[in-house]
């Protein structure tokens, strides 16, 4: 599969409809993730890390993307040129569903993430109106040429790699129409979808954390902690000076 043409589709009315929702959700999720290094893999024209406050934020994509847009790191996403356990956050916007080897990309993401590092994946939901359109009318027109990955399947992949799913969201409940006026008429489905069929949104975001077995935070033993607290309290007591009688 190729993601070529998908970025151009994002400039169309339905593409803007999807992009606006995903940008808002990314802004909410990445704002509270801290560390030093954050990478966005794919869709370099969009900045899904703009709300993050890490000092080093970069966009990485393959060589073909470098010809079309500004990319900080040009690389094969299946073999990332980053050191093991060196990245705190990775964002994957619609990369897996257009990749020929999505498992390999996820394995590379797991390799470069530090323990407790986080990954956010955006994708199209096969169990939605857009997914039904894709199954009924096979076409190579974006965004229906990708291999849609369901959230349960993605969670299984995460579990196999040692990730723990932390959060997620579904959105974009309107049908797959091409004109903006029809999208506007179906806007009422957003509130209805969140309430009545929340898992039928056309797109989703899933956030997961890399867990390392056997790692735990080292804290003082309870008795030692109590003793240190008492000792600290004793040193902070006010000293009362007696008046010296003449």
What pLDDT shows up at residue 176?
80
- Tell whether pTM > 0.85: no
Q: Tell me the pLDDT tens digit for each residue of 4-13.
A: 688 889 999 9
Question: What phi and psi, each to the nearest 5 degrees, are found at residue 199?
Answer: -90, 10
Residue 237, pLDDT > 50, answer: no
Residues in the chain: 246
What pLDDT shows up at residue 64?
67
Q: Tell me the pLDDT tens digit for each residue of 215-235.
A: 654 545 555 555 555 554 544
Reported CATH class of domain 6-218: alpha beta
Sheet holding 73-74, edge to edge: 73-74, 56-61, 37-41, 87-93, 113-124, 203-210, 163-171
Burial class of residue 55 (count of CB atoms within 10 Å of its CB; 0-12, 13-18, 19+): exposed
Residue 37, pLDDT > 80, answer: yes
Kindly state the tokens that stand for 15. Answer: 């593409």
Q: Tell me the pLDDT tens digit for each residue of 153-212.
A: 999 999 999 999 999 999 999 888 777 777 777 776 777 667 677 889 999 999 999 998
Alpha-carbon distance 59 to 68, whole Å? 13
What pLDDT shows up at residue 18?
96
Question: What phi and psi, each to the nearest 5 degrees, are found at residue 164?
Answer: -115, 120
What pLDDT shows up at residue 192?
66
Alpha-carbon distance 189 to 176, whole Å? 13
Q: Tell me the pLDDT tens digit for each residue of 47-92.
A: 999 999 999 999 999 866 655 567 899 999 999 999 999 999 999 9
Q: Tell me the pLDDT tens digit for each residue of 91-144.
A: 999 999 999 999 999 999 999 999 999 999 999 999 999 998 888 876 778 888
Q: How far is CA 224 from CA 215, 217, 229, 232, in A?
A: 22, 16, 9, 12
Q: Which of 174, 159, 246 is nearest to 209 (CA)?
A: 159
Q: Which of 6, 11, 82, 1 is nearest to 43 (CA)?
A: 6
């Amino acid at each position: 599969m190729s993601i070529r043409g998908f970025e151009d589709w994002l400039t169309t009315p339905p593409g803007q409809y999807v992009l606006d929702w995903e940008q808002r959700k990314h802004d909410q999720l990445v704002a509270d993730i801290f560390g030093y290094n954050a990478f966005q893999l794919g869709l370099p024209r969009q900045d899904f890390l703009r709300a993050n406050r890490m000092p080093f934020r970069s966009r990485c994509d393959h060589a073909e993307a470098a010809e079309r847009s500004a990319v900080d790191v040009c690389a094969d996403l299946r073999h990332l040129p980053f050191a093991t356990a060196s990245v705190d956050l990775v964002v994957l916007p619609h990369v897996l569903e257009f990749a020929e080897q999505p498992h390999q990309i996820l394995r590379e993401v797991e390799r470069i993430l530090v323990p407790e590092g986080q990954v956010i994946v955006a994708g199209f939901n096969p169990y939605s109106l857009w997914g039904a359109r894709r199954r009924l009318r096979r076409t190579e027109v974006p965004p229906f040429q990708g291999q849609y990955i369901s959230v349960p399947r993605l969670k299984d992949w995460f579990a196999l790699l040692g990730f723990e799913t932390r959060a997620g969201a579904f959105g974009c409940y309107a049908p797959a129409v091409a004109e903006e006026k029809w999208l506007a008429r179906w806007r009422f489905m957003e509130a209805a979808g969140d309430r009545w069929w929340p898992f039928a949104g056309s797109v989703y975001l899933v956030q997961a954390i890399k867990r390392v077995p056997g790692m735990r935070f080292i804290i003082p033993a309870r008795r030692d902690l109590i003793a240190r607290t008492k000792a600290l309290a004793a040193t902070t007591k006010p000293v009362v000076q007696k008046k010296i009688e003449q």
